[in-house]
Amino acid sequence: MLHTVAKLHYESDMSQVQIAKQLGLSTATISRLLQKARAEGIVRIEVRDIFAPDALGAQLASRLGLKQVIAVDAPTTGILTALAAPLSRLLQDQNLSKESVLMVGWGRTVSAIIDAGLPQMPGVAVVPSTGGMSQHAQHFQSNEFCRRAAEVTGGVPHFIHAPYLPAPEALDFFLADSSVQASVGLWNRIDVAVVGIGLPYGLDRPTSGASDRPDPDLADSAGDVVRHYFDRDGRIIHWRGEGQMIAVSCQQLRATPLVIGIAVGEPKVPSIIGAARAKLVNALITDTRTAEAVLDALARES
């Protein structure tokens, strides 16, 4: 009875009078049951601290071990566009030049960020994070992301004319191509990377292409960065494509001075935690709602 009353009141948002009528009890009895539920720990009422966006970002950076977290306080509508301004400021602070390398990931979030605008970085080398994908959707086109980012920033695009996951017997053939070698060689000296943090496998899996058929090895994944899948504790999952992709490696990402992950939405909470623990990102741009949800999830763990 305690659980029933507590659920009706706190989860279904029913008043004590409504619960009393539904259960055929007096309101005084419902009141006593709710008090007993709190006393026995069935219900816990917590007054949360409210943080300004800067303080919220600093707290989340500390909890996740990241260099920096920027939490944007903006309405849900147009949130991806709102993330572009802090990203631009962060990129400007890096003072990238003609000797610098900017790597751009792919996905809807990164696409929206590029559309919203990036700062001018004349001459910077812009390289995609992977070879091409078989999906037709615009947000999977890594070379196109590279072209658009270079166009916006005034940088120089370096394309990778090879599939991201070739047949095993064709991998060495593509990597032997001089133009592919020149582009993927830039991954060894990336200064800044901008990447999306993917949802847990199965929630946003591509729907076409033989190379992207369901993989049971990824059932427990919490998310991915550049198709490097990880669990919630940050362990890399060695699926059939890990180590066989034409893609920036985990080691190259970890060696990059600044890898900015961009992610919003409560479904990405485990993805953000896993990406930080895997050390595939060392900075994060998100919104305040997502940042608070991540802190809540970390608090529940502890």
Residue 44 lies in a domain: no
55-59, 111-115, 207-211, 280-284: which is most confident: 280-284
Tell me what pLDDT residue 139 has. 64
CB 200 within 8 A of CB 223: yes
Q: Using CA atoms in the order 266, 270, 276, 278, what is the torsion angle rounded to 10 degrees?
A: -150
For the segment 264-277, the average pLDDT, to the nearest whole number, is 96
- Token pair for residue 144? 């196109």
Provide the residue range defining the domain that includes 232. 53-301
Q: Which amino acid is at 171?
A: L
For position 172, which CATH number holds? 3.40.50.1360
Confidence of residue 18 (pLDDT cuts 50, 70, 90): confident
Residue 46 lies in a domain: no
Residues 247 and 187 in one domain: yes
Residue 80 lies in a domain: yes
Q: Which amino acid is at 22?
A: Q
- DSSP state, 234? -
Q: Which amino acid is at 190?
A: I
SS3 content of the chain, % helix, strand, coil (to 5): 45, 15, 40
Residue 162 lies in a domain: yes
Tell me what pLDDT residue 210 has. 39
Is the predicted pLDDT of residue 209 greater than 60, yes or no? no
CB 245 within 8 A of CB 253: no
Cα diameter, the chain = 81
* Residue (of 278, 293, 86, 301) closest to 198 by Cα position: 278
Tens of pLDDT, residue by residue over 60-110, are 999 999 999 999 998 877 788 889 999 999 999 999 999 899 999 988 888
Q: What is the spatial distance between Cα 104 and Cα 87, in angstroms, rounded to a whole number?
A: 13
Tell me what pLDDT residue 7 has. 79
Tell me what pLDDT residue 35 has. 80
CA angle 246, 249, 252 (to 5 degrees): 130
Number of Cβ within a 10 Å radius of residue 102: 24
Tell me what pLDDT residue 205 has. 53
Confidence of residue 204 (pLDDT cuts 50, 70, 90): low
For the segment 193-217, the average pLDDT, to the nearest whole number, is 69
Residues 19 and 102 in one domain: no
Q: Which has more pLDDT, 181 or 78?
A: 181
Residue 47 lies in a domain: no
Residues 30 and 174 in one domain: no
Is the predicted pLDDT of residue 299 greater than 70, yes or no? yes
Residues 76 and 104 in one domain: yes
For the segment 34-47, the average pLDDT, to the nearest whole number, is 68
Confidence of residue 52 (pLDDT cuts 50, 70, 90): low
Number of Cβ within a 10 Å radius of residue 39: 10
Is the predicted pLDDT of residue 206 greater than 60, yes or no? no
38-52, 150-164, 193-207: which is most confident: 150-164
Is the predicted pLDDT of residue 207 greater than 50, yes or no? no
Tell me what pLDDT residue 125 has. 97
Strand partners, 71: 286
Is the predicted pLDDT of residue 147 greater than 90, yes or no? yes
Output the pTM of the full model: 0.79
Could you tell me how many residues make up the chain?
302
For the segment 218-239, the average pLDDT, to the nearest whole number, is 93
Residues 295 and 265 in one domain: yes
Q: What is the spatial distance between Cα 280 and Cα 237, in angstroms, rounded to a whole number?
A: 13
Residue 45 lies in a domain: no
Confidence of residue 54 (pLDDT cuts 50, 70, 90): confident
Residues 191 and 260 in one domain: yes
CA angle 166, 132, 174 (to 5 degrees): 45
Residues 227 and 90 in one domain: yes
Counting the structural domains of the chain, the total is 2
Q: Which amino acid is at 286?
A: T
Q: What is the spatial distance between Cα 138 and Cα 150, in angstroms, rounded to a whole number?
A: 17
For position 29, which CATH number holds? 1.10.10.60
Residues 20 and 112 in one domain: no
Is the predicted pLDDT of residue 113 greater than 80, yes or no? yes
Residues 28 and 175 in one domain: no
Residues 143 and 284 in one domain: yes
Residues 94 and 35 in one domain: no
Residues 61 and 139 in one domain: yes
